[in-house]
Amino acid sequence: MSSARSNLPARSRAAQDGLTEQVAAVAAARDRLGRDLDTLDAEVRAQVSQTVEKTTWRVVGTGLAILSGILVRKLLMRVWTRVTKHEPPTNPGAPDTTWVEGLGWALASGAAVGVARLVAARGATAGWRRVTGALPPGVSDAGR
């Protein structure tokens, strides 16, 4: 029995040494996992931020384009009515609309709405840049 007792402390020390190594390995793995989770968290936050920024820009840009188109069309209808003394054609392809009137309305409304959309887009870009300090997503300085 004395030999079993003398081996007990040696076994206990070996078990403790093995356990110490395992504890150290677990601690190292936990540290790696923490770093990996921090990296993943930063990447996910960056992707969400980019998605929110792109979506916000699309909503702002589209909203301003639609609003400017509506306002310019209403203004153009008033100007047309004042100048020609009758309402603009609602259907330029209708038989009772003359070619001159149909083409005139198509040219005037197309040009006015196109210019309004350009002004709205440029204004939205300038406003975005003023607020964020950067160009909106998908807009570059070259723009060509």
For 33-66, the pLDDT digits (tens) are: 999 999 999 999 999 988 999 999 999 989 998 9
Side-chain half-sphere CA neighbours of 38 within 13 A: 6
Mean pLDDT score of the chain: 86
How confident is the model over 8-24, as pLDDT tens digits? 565 666 667 678 888 88
* pLDDT score, position 92: 79
Structure tokens at 98: 């003359």
* pLDDT score, position 11: 62
* pLDDT score, position 119: 93
Give the C-alpha separation, 42 to 37, whole Å.
9
* pLDDT score, position 47: 93
